[in-house]
Structure 1
Amino acid sequence: MWLVLLLFVIILGLFVYYDTKKPKNFPPGPPWVPVLGSALHVNRLRKQTGYLYRATAELANCYGPVVGLRVGKDRQVVLCGYEAIKEMLSREEFDGRPQGLFYETRTWGKRRGVLLTDEEFWQEQRRFVLRHLKEFGFGRRTMAELVEEEARQLVQAFQKRLEGFQNAGVVMSMHNAFGVYVLNTLWSILAGIRFSHSDLELKKLQGLLTELFANIDMVGCLFSQFPVLRFLAPEFSGYKQFLYIHQRVWHYLKAELDKHKATFQPAELRDFMDAYLKILMSDQKKSSFSESQLLAICMDMFMAGSETTTKSLGFCFLYLLLYPDVQRRAQAEIDAVVGRERLPSLSDRPKMPYMEAIVLESVRMFMGRTFSIPHRALKDTELQGYHIPKDTMVICNFNGTLMNKDIWGDPDVFRPDRFIDSQGSIFIPDQYTPFGFGKHRCMGETLAKSNVFLFTASLLQNFNFSIPPSSLPPTTEAVDGVTPSPKPFHALVTPRAVD
């Protein structure tokens, strides 16, 4: 009996020792406890600060810009400094994407798509996606026409809401006013269709996605860090909801793909889906091309492609409410450059530096609350002098660069002038990195910035936005999640008088 007990104590001691032992020269961070790693410490900080990005920023204040963690089974390194972020994003050793349950469940057991794949598979698919997105609109006249049409539709929707209330104006919900219009600019290129703002199925899907993004993190979620919980507590761990929402999106996209297949004409390619179908029907197709990969690409774009732009617009109008002087100055520039006889166009953009600065500042305010898409070390390597073992997840906390007082001086103030130099031209500091570096620079950067610019300029040309009477100013605190969003807020929208 005593021998069995002694053996148990020895085995338990060895387990505790090896399970809490950090790799040699691993980045500093909170101590690890058995099974949980540093999860309890991070979770406590998250509750204290309200956000995961603030929790890891607090850790960076204690341990430096490179913080080493272990959450459940996952070894993680969080980067909170510009030099560390730039080095990581510039080196091929960190070009991997995380592996495991969370990243495979979303695409039915295999990593697919372009956001969370890596190495040769990712390179092949990314080349194809970029080439054909450009062919059907990205960075071309077609894209400008698509964005301008959605801006026109958005203005008309606001005008319709104001019918009969011209003098008093209408109080409108603003944090979620842009989703369908942003999605349409992307989906027109991908699938050649635009959604109606009254599409009930789309509204249900967007509601589910909002719920999903509020309950997972860029580093995963409970069932990915403690996989056994998907069996023991599928609802508590988020596994059941995660599976259900991705299944709904998958079926929605599959229905559109089936329509494309039924009407496909190889000599008349209508959109990105058709271009991909042509490859699938070719004898020379490579192994990385498949129908499930096409659906995964569309799902990446559907879920992530519009999410960040929509939230950037939400933060933009939140701060325009709080800084009416910025709103007035933007309207003065719009009136001087465009006038009131036509809507703004993307060709006006080079002549409107203040509006461009508002775009940059809005993106900074949003992305300063976010993490990058996770990377994975493809081999044992070093970063900023620390040892990073193979398969460690490495992620950037953009709060450390975009909301850093040493860089911006007053990062919590919405001040577009910070991006305008003494000659009145746009000036972008090196530390402004919301879209990443190099090969992993965001594919949708051009479309995203075009959307924020034109939607904002078109609405400001035609309407004033103010805090509703008898209402408190909206909070700048966000809803935590994979990409934080503004808390629900409203604006009194009134038409601008025509001189």
Structure 2
Amino acid sequence: MWLISTLLFIGILGLLAYLDTKKPKNYPPGPKWLPILGSALEVYKYRKKTGTLSLATNELAKKYGPVLGLRIGKDRIVFAYGFEAIREFLLKEELSGRPQGPFYELRTWGKRRGIMLTDEDFWQEQRRFVLRHLREFGFGSRNMSSLIEEEAEIMVNHIKKKIEDNHGWCEIRIDRLFGIHILNTLWTMMAGTRYSPEDKELKNLQIVLTELFANIDMGGTLFSHFPFLRYVAPEFSGYNMYIKTHMGIWKLLNEELRKHKETYNPEDLRDFMDVYLKMLDSPEKNETFTETQLLAICLDLFMAGSETTSKSLGYCFLYLLLNPQIQKKAQEEIDRVVGTDRLPCLNDRPQMQYTECIVLESLRMFTGRGFSIPHRALKDTTLQGYFIPKDTMLIATFNGTLLSDDSGWPEPEVFKPERFVKDEKIYKPENYLPFGIGRHRCMGETLAKANIFLITSSLLQNFNFSIPPGTPPPSTLSRDGATPGPQPFKAIVTLRQ
């Protein structure tokens, strides 16, 4: 009897293991699935070989095709590679959902909240409200230019003070230079708050946030793919870091909300937080409007708004260091159009074609190393003829449209702003998709491009940036993670004569 029970148990385990390796019929091609692990070992092997998940998925896509089907732990994940696959994916209504599960819900107190990782009617209503009312405080308007110009001036004066204190030059960690300033341009509209570039608490929080983004993927992390690790190995699986980082941001946001509630006046709305508090008191509000949702919106914009733009600026100045002739050409244009008596403004942009092309090329270098925010199949559907089961996660890998050898860009690894000029006008090819397309196109596109243009032009107008003497040129290899970022690097900054 004991022998029969044991054999039966082993047989059931074997059957379950076999079923765990079976792919849905006509599922996109990819590596074999192992029991429990799925494709995890194969992805890890390619990731270790290439250095980043972006390059790993590129290698796998070249082997299996532009629609790459994987399973990591419990999660089915499909990567779209190349323009045609990405365009169909991002424009298809059935693929416009957002992922579910603890990884995406723990960040917002165990519920699906915010606007970055929600979908369908809830997302539409909240996104519409956010955009409409942020515009009242400058988002996408002329006032936005003024906000960024003020922040650029603060940034310029802050660096000038460092140079003065150091008798003519200073050395700056460029990959950490922009975070607080970028956050301020958004946070002034959100909460009427501007942080000092020397705010130690916020600087530490942004450093921790950058480390978190370097240790998770756009599709999750160990504890999301293998949920039991959250309990048996919380440190190793990344769970502890994930919660600790979010606790720091929650603390900051709750304190900001507390201050607003103490000084809130419905007749004098100062910023987006005040507008949302007024809606919470309104008889017109429905169940999607809650205090938790307000905090989740702030969390989304705090994390996404500063992280991506800061890293784009990091790549911008990395390549300006490596290409001093580009830096000089931009400075000549700034001198000709703006002069030295004032800082650049957005009204100068039409006359500053080369500087605008630097912005476009910087975004290509950033986005070409990264991924879209994950989507979820809302129902069984297809992509490029392959079957996509309901609740499958889908991610666009932008390297194939922006930075790889088969992307269609001449010399894709070379920083060439002039590639965006055709017939003396700025030209953007169809496969230039740094902000995505479709319903989930990045809502921060206007602010991000304005930030990069004004901060880059203001800094180049006033300073020269060079590689520190005696040090090798900074590497163009990226830090892996949810969003790509340059390796840590420094620059010598001097005043322009």
Range class of TM-score, shorter chain? over 0.9
Tell me which residue corresponds to 1:77: 78
Q: Secondary structure at the match of 1:175?
A: helix
Q: Secondary structure at the match of 1:126?
A: helix
> Residues of 1 paired with 2:231 and 2:428: CA distance?
49
> Residues of 1 paired with 2:326 and 2:309: CA distance?
20
Given the alignment of the two structures, is residue 377 of structure 1 paired with residue 405 of structure 2, yes or no?
no
Deviation at 1:166, TM superposition (A): 5.5
Tell me which residue corresponds to 1:95: 96
- The residue type paired with residue 489 of structure 1 is F
Give matches, 1:166-205, under 5 Å.
167=168, 169-205=169-205
Q: Which runs of 5+ in 2 are unaligned?
A: none
Q: Secondary structure at the match of 2:382?
A: strand
Q: Secondary structure at the match of 1:68?
A: strand
Q: Secondary structure at the match of 2:425?
A: coil
Give every structure 1 segment of 4 or more consecutive aligned residues whose post-TM-superposition deviation is greater than 3 Å: 164-167
> Residues of 2 paired with 1:165 and 1:39: CA distance?
51
Output one character per residue of 1:116-154: Cα deviation in whole Å (capped at 9) or x when no partner.
Answer: 001111011000011111111111121011000001111
Output one character per residue of 1:185-210: Cα deviation in whole Å (capped at 9) or x when no partner.
Answer: 00000001100112122122112211
Tell me which residue corresponds to 1:28: 29
Say if 1:314 and 1:485, in contact at 8 Å, map to a contact too: yes
Tell me which residue corresponds to 2:361: 361
Tell me which residue corresponds to 2:279: 279
Given the alignment of the two structures, is residue 426 of structure 1 paired with residue 426 of structure 2, yes or no?
yes
- The residue type paired with residue 94 of structure 1 is L
- The residue type paired with residue 335 of structure 1 is D
Give matches, 1:455-470, under 5 Å.
455-470=455-470
Deviation at 1:228, TM superposition (A): 0.7
> Residues of 2 paired with 1:209 and 1:164: CA distance?
30
> Residues of 1 paired with 2:50 and 2:85: CA distance?
24
Deviation at 1:164, TM superposition (A): 5.0
Given the alignment of the two structures, is residue 483 of structure 1 paired with residue 483 of structure 2, yes or no?
yes
Tell me which residue corresponds to 2:113: 112
> Residues of 2 paired with 1:198 and 1:404: CA distance?
39
Tell me which residue corresponds to 2:152: 151
- The residue type paired with residue 19 of structure 2 is Y
Tell me which residue corresponds to 2:265: 265
Output one character per residue of 1:88-112: Cα deviation in whole Å (capped at 9) or x when no partner.
Answer: 1111101100000100111111010
Given the alignment of the two structures, is residue 123 of structure 1 paired with residue 141 of structure 2, yes or no?
no
TM-score by length of 1: 0.98
Tell me which residue corresponds to 1:252: 252
Given the alignment of the two structures, is residue 59 of structure 1 paired with residue 72 of structure 2, yes or no?
no
Give matches, 1:390-469, under 5 Å.
390-406=390-406, 407-422=408-423, 424-469=424-469
Say if 1:478 and 1:486, in contact at 8 Å, map to a contact too: yes
Output one character per residue of 1:342-391: Cα deviation in whole Å (capped at 9) or x when no partner.
Answer: 11111101111100000000011011111100000000001100000000
> Residues of 2 paired with 1:162 and 1:272: CA distance?
37
Q: Secondary structure at the match of 1:163?
A: helix
Structure 1 vs Structure 2 CA RMSD: 1.0
Q: Secondary structure at the match of 1:440?
A: coil
- The residue type paired with residue 410 of structure 2 is G
Q: Which runs of 5+ in 1 are unaligned?
A: none
- The residue type paired with residue 227 of structure 2 is P
Tell me which residue corresponds to 1:37: 38
TM-score by length of 2: 0.98
Tell me which residue corresponds to 2:6: 5
Assess, with a 3 A threshold, how the Cα gap between structure 1 residues 64 and 166 changes in structure 2: closer, same or farther.
Answer: same
Say if 1:166 and 1:494, in contact at 8 Å, map to a contact too: no
> Residues of 2 paired with 1:180 and 1:463: CA distance?
20
- The residue type paired with residue 325 of structure 2 is D
> Residues of 2 paired with 1:378 and 1:24: CA distance?
18
Deviation at 1:4, TM superposition (A): 2.2
